């Protein structure tokens, strides 16, 4: 499999990412690689802002980072039979096997955290440590409880206020983006809605499977996350045996972007 340079969505990274496609049956997954050192799998969030963040460059100083684009995101295809994160978790495990990634840390952000949790409940043999950052995926309350804020019905300004401690950091001027980037952004939004609409942002069975996670697990959470708040974070941690939860102050749903130094301090201490 040949690696090639890819420039989409990467304008802020100092180090160029390399990209390839890995086929698993009829699914073609875009995989990107960055840095040198011990391998580390990063599962980005629904907006893939991690691929533009300084934390990725810092991690690449000591790790070879692999990122997978879920089906329907980036340039990965999405066959009709793929309908949820449960399906995607199996595909990610197959991609890891094809790439020979074994006993490596997995760090999942937001939607990627949901996928990472699903992976670990199915087979954590290829995972050495698990990090979930403001992850979705579980419903802990009753039918009328709002565990995860409904980002599709709320006004965009309200969503921004819930997602960011400093909403100004969520500003993105899409008018200056090239067409190929805008295509990826639009495709990501469509796939995010299609895969997470019903049931909304969770797998009803995942809560009952979290006890299967047998690797060291750290949850890193923005203390001011209004999308999935700290009560949700504590419930998530309590359902994973031996998991620890760390809160990052002055940060919302993306603590790695709002408080990168504090985030990296906690992450690096855990990864060792």
Q: pLDDT tens for residues 217-240?
A: 999 999 999 999 999 999 999 999
Q: What is the mean pLDDT of residues 24-31?
A: 96
How far is Cα 193 from Cα 212, in angstroms, rounded to an integer? Answer: 28
Could you give all domains of the chain from N- to C-terminal order, each with its CATH number?
4-271 (3.40.50.1820)
Say if pTM beats, i.e. exceeds, 0.85: yes
Round the average pLDDT of the chain to a whole number and report it: 91
Confidence bin at 2 (pLDDT 50/70/90): very low
The least confident of 18-32, 73-87, 172-186 is: 172-186
Q: Where are the alpha helices (DSSP H) in 150-259?
A: 156-163, 179-196, 230-238, 255-258
CA-CA-CA-CA torsion for 78, 74, 51, 197, nearest 10 degrees? -50
How far is Cα 60 from Cα 37, in angstroms, rounded to an integer? Answer: 8
pLDDT of residue 52: 80
Confidence bin at 48 (pLDDT 50/70/90): confident
How far is Cα 34 from Cα 9, in angstroms, rounded to an integer? Answer: 14
Percentage of the chain surpassing pLDDT 90?
80
* Among candidate residues 100, 94, 140, 137, the one with its CA nearest the CA of residue 116: 137
Q: What is the mean pLDDT of residues 143-172?
A: 90
Burial label for 177, CB within 10 Å (0-12, 13-18, 19+), is middle
pLDDT of residue 252: 97
Q: What is the mean pLDDT of residues 38-45?
A: 96
How far is Cα 192 from Cα 127, in angstroms, rounded to an integer? Answer: 25
Is the sign of the CA dihedral 109, 112, 115, 116 positive or negative? negative
Q: DSSP 3-state assignment of 48?
A: coil
* Among candidate residues 118, 142, 137, the one with its CA nearest the CA of residue 227: 137
Confidence bin at 16 (pLDDT 50/70/90): low
Is the pLDDT assigned to residue 66 strictly greater than 60?
A: yes
CA atoms within 13 A on the CB side of 71: 26
């Amino acid at each position: 499999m040949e690696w090639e340079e890819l420039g989409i969505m990467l304008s802020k990274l100092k180090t160029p990412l390399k990209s390839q496609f890995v086929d698993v049956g009829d699914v073609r997954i875009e995989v990107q690689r960055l840095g040198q050192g011990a391998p580390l799998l990063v599962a980005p969030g629904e907006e893939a802002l991690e691929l533009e963040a300084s934390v990725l460059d810092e991690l690449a100083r000591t790790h070879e980072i692999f990122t997978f684009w879920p089906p329907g995101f980036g340039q990965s295809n999405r066959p009709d039979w793929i309908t949820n994160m449960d399906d995607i978790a199996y595909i990610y495990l197959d991609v890891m096997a094809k790439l020979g990634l074994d006993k490596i840390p997995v760090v999942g952000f937001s939607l990627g955290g949901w996928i990472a949790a699903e992976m670990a409940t199915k087979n954590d043999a290829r995972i050495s440590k698990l990090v979930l950052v403001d992850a979705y995926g579980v419903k802990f309350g009753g039918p009328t409880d709002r565990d995860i804020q409904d980002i599709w019905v709320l006004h965009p300004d309200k969503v921004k206020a819930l997602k960011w401690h400093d909403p100004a950091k969520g500003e993105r001027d899409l008018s200056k983006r090239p067409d190929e980037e805008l295509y990826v952004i639009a495709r990501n939004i469509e796939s995010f809605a299609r895969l997470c609409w019903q049931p909304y942002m969770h797998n009803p069975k995942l809560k009952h499977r979290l006890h299967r996670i047998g690797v060291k697990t750290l949850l890193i959470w923005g203390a001011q996350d209004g999308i999935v708040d700290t009560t949700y974070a504590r419930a998530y941690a309590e359902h994973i045996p031996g998991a620890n939860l760390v809160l990052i102050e002055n940060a919302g749903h993306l603590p790695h972007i709002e408080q990168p130094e504090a985030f990296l301090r906690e992450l690096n201490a855990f990864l060792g």
